[in-house]
Chain A
Amino acid sequence: MELFWYIAIGIVLTVFFVLDGYDFGAGIIHLFFAKTEKDKEVITKSAGLFWDSNEVWLVAAGGMLFMAFPTFYASVFSGFYLPLIIVLWLIIFRAIGLEFRGQFKYDMWKAIWDKSFGLSSLLLALFFGIALGNIVRGVNLGSVENGVSVHEEHYFFLPLWNSSFSPLTDHPGVIDWFTIIIGVIAVVTLAIHGANWIILKTNSSINLKLKGVIFKLNIVLAVLTVFSLYVWQLVNPTSLDNFIHKPYLMVFPIIYLIGVIGLFFIKKIKKDGHAFMLSTLIIVGGITSSLASLFPVILPSINNVNGHLTIYNTSASTYGLSVAMIWGIIGFSLLLVYFIVQKRLTAGKIDHMDYGH
């Protein structure tokens, strides 16, 4: 039962990052590459039409996490208090940028919301990467000082950073050199994903140029990936064990690899949808590989006093999880229907679609 909900939440979260990922990415591309008003407008629109229906997946994931793994939800949300609240603020800033830009025709007005949309997209991508970095690195569960837990064994609190910026101390902060690397990987990945989305959904004048950008970013991503594998081992020495004991889990890193390798041929790919699928594979492969390397742990402990948080020691009662599975399956089917209807309705390029208000 725990496993069902773990997989279900994993799927919902991955869908969230694939969907909202492209509009984060569109924001990053918008910040650095959109020069003319027409391009800025159409790129904003390619995110603005979809961000709210994409973010309902985040709400769903949050709700499911709360229901199925309340101890994990309580531990992680209070332990990462500051970065989580900052993420909420950024989500609000981004939404304001997207929704308000087109309301008035003054250049200065648009310039403000362009920056708001672009910068908060960039920072959100960075923070989501940093979050993933924190999860794989682990935290000082129970806030152990000199071998004694200050809090209950599943609670902790992380400052934004500590003076050494090192993941290898007893009290790492949210931001250290390891999580920054994972954060940059997330930014690059989502920038590629967003560029693919813009090419797929719009007729912007920079579409051709973006293919070159994707190619270059993909080189950066490949280098960073190799480098991160090395530091990942330093930070979490057991991260390969699962793949050695259960070789079938290798399918996830392979998905990631297919995406990265495929995108080197971006200039030869005829169908824009195929390129978008490749960056989707990178996101899916990246998230699932990270989860698979930890499984069944969902938050490692970096001290010897308190054990890791796993899907088994943080879950709700079996009865609750079973009832929820019944409505969960109904809910999932409905989500799928909504999703397909919505995608069919907004198929094709969106340049001339009405923004709605």
Chain B
Amino acid sequence: MEDMLFYDRLQFAFTITFHYIFPQLTMGLSLMIVYFKWKFLKTKIEKYNNAAKFFMKIFAINFTMGVVTGIPMEFQFGTNWAKFSELTGGIIGQTLAMEGMFSFFLESSFLALFIFGEKLMGQKLHFLTGFLVFLGSWASGWFILATNAWMQHPVGYEILDNGKYVLENFSALFTNPWLLPAFLHNQMASVVTSAFVMASIGAFYILRDKHSEYGHLFLKTGVIFGLISSVLVAFPTGDWNAKNVAKYQPGTFAAMEGIFETEEAGAEIVLIGQPNMVEKKLDNKIAVPNILSFLTYQEWHRQIPGMDQFKKEDLPDNIPALYYSYHIMVGLGTIFIAVMALALFFLWRKKLYTIKSLLWTIMFLVPFPYIANITGWYTAELGRQPYLVYGLLRTSDGVSPTVSSGNTLFTLLGFVALYLLLGLLFLILVGKTINEGPTPKPH
């Protein structure tokens, strides 16, 4: 039983981690493509149109990857988490089905139109199709976050005698106080990823002295979008989420902040330290007193409950992993703001395109927003443990009763092998597209 739970969780974690590499780029990128297309409509400068079409190519590759790795996500609710699906399907099935029906269809149909239909439709309609792709991908995020919000903070439900969760109030699913902050935070984080990808491609073109006209455009756009979104990820959206965790999941809050013992006179904020689960303390801790109380409640001496106030079986089961995920996300987010602010400063001084060290830095920073996005999700998901539906349904009670651990390990190994291949091909393909550059080929 223990084994089974472990492999089921590992398989879901692995497949969702790999899947989320792709949507985080497409959501942010669709916004930036709409921006380029709008710029082109306004200025009639061909460069902007080529930029929009170039990034739609990269979008399309990512979208394909997102589709083929996304179908297994939907299926795995049933295959590996049958009991969870049976009990809560009447509720989360709503938002998941709406995602498929409204946003996924919208995105995929209009993506095809955007790619094939420019000549046929004229520029204004072409802009509209791009906008609908953006709308579809963000609506997709909205429905998935609504699903996750319900698991983090269940609302609008009733539990029957047989343990089933039935929907009592449909609109509550979308007015869930967890949803809006989580959605905005997630969307801003996806803009960070796409802005860094764009800036990185720009820096690459400039350093290589190839397609440099586009290099300048991509770098500049990437830096501007990157700074705005990096700031918005932290404040107000990140702050808002942290306050929600403190309010609705206080045990999780203590664990992710690394507060083992409650301090009467206000909680410190931990910058560095390794959780020592045997002695229940942080090793090599560097912390600033009272800041956490202030950030969370705007009161210097407000008491924040530490992990000592909760029963072990109600706290997340992997506290170090949760703590590291959270701190990696926050640390990287801070670095993003610093680098992008520096880049914007030099852009303003008209020196950015010539400072090689900064260009190299921006180029090589590209994996880190992905890591920040994924550790952010780990924070949310590890933080919700040991529950699937916070406070109500334990993760161990949600697995498929008839699927043995041997079968799950078999499919996990298969997914690992297949996704390794998929990842390699993806890199080759994106590399090829970037190498060819945005200048249209003469037909």
Q: Which positions in A face B, CB cutoff 8 Å?
A: 49, 52-53, 55-56, 58-60, 62-64, 66-71, 73-79, 81-82, 84-85, 88-89, 91-93, 95-96, 99-100, 103, 143, 151-152, 154-157, 316-317, 319-320, 323-324, 327-328, 331-332, 334-335, 338-339, 341-342, 345-346, 353-354, 356-357
CB pair A345–B78 under 8 Å, yes or no, is no
Query: Which of the residues B61, B166, B401 comes within 8 Å of A357, measured between beta carbons?
Result: B61
Do A357 and B60 contact each other (CB < 8 Å), given the known contacts A55-B67, A67-B97?
Answer: yes
For A328, the chain B residues whose CB sits under 8 A away are: 101
CB pair B93–A66 under 8 Å, yes or no, is yes
For A354, the chain B residues whose CB sits under 8 A away are: 116
CB pair B109–A63 under 8 Å, yes or no, is no
Of the candidate stretches B43-51, B80-88, B183-191, B252-260, the one touching chain A is B80-88
Whole-angstrom distance from the CB of A159 to the nearest CB of chain B? 9
Q: Which positions in B face A, CB cutoff 8 Å?
A: 57, 60-61, 63-64, 67-72, 74-75, 77-80, 82-83, 85-94, 96-102, 104-106, 108-110, 112-113, 115-117, 120, 166-168, 170, 400-404, 407, 410-411, 414, 418, 421-422, 425, 428-429, 432-433
For A81, the chain B residues whose CB sits under 8 A away are: 79-80, 400, 402-403, 407, 411
Query: Which of the residues B61, B115, B166, B403 comes within 8 Å of A319, measured between beta carbons?
Result: B166
Cα-based distance from A338 to B91 in the complex (angstroms): 27
Do A77 and B75 contact each other (CB < 8 Å), given the known contacts A70-B86, A89-B414?
Answer: yes
Cα-based distance from A56 to B422 in the complex (angstroms): 20
Cα-based distance from A323 to B89 in the complex (angstroms): 14
> Could you list 19 A-B pairs, sorted by A, with CB under 8 Å?
A52-B63, A59-B74, A62-B71, A66-B85, A66-B93, A66-B97, A78-B80, A82-B410, A82-B411, A85-B72, A85-B75, A99-B429, A157-B403, A320-B167, A332-B101, A334-B102, A345-B120, A346-B116, A357-B57
For B82, the chain A residues whose CB sits under 8 A away are: 74-75, 77-78, 155
Do A74 and B64 contact each other (CB < 8 Å), given the known contacts A100-B429, A323-B167, A357-B433?
Answer: no
Cα-based distance from A327 to B401 in the complex (angstroms): 33
For B60, the chain A residues whose CB sits under 8 A away are: 356-357
CB pair A60–B100 under 8 Å, yes or no, is yes
Across the A-B interface, the 3 shortest Cβ-Cβ residue pairs? A70-B89, A77-B78, A67-B93
Query: Which of the residues B71, B96, B400, B401 comes within 8 Å of A67, measured between beta carbons?
Result: B96
Query: Which of the residues B64, B102, B115 comes within 8 Å of A95, measured between beta carbons?
Result: B64
CB pair B78–A338 under 8 Å, yes or no, is no
Q: Residue of A at shortest CB range from B101?
A: A331
Query: Which of the residues A95, A335, A341, A353 comes within 8 Å of B68, measured between beta carbons?
Result: A95
Whole-angstrom distance from the CB of A110 to the nearest CB of chain B? 14
Query: Which of the residues A58, A64, A85, A346 comes within 8 Å of B97, measured between beta carbons?
Result: A64
Whole-angstrom distance from the CB of B144 to the nearest CB of chain A? 11
Query: Which of the residues A79, A95, A345 comes within 8 Å of B402, measured between beta carbons?
Result: A79
Whole-angstrom distance from the CB of A71 to the nearest CB of chain B? 5
Cα-based distance from A53 to B170 in the complex (angstroms): 29
Q: Residue of B at shortest CB range from A82?
A: B407
Q: Residue of A at shortest CB range from B402?
A: A157
Q: Residue of B at shortest CB range from A68?
A: B93
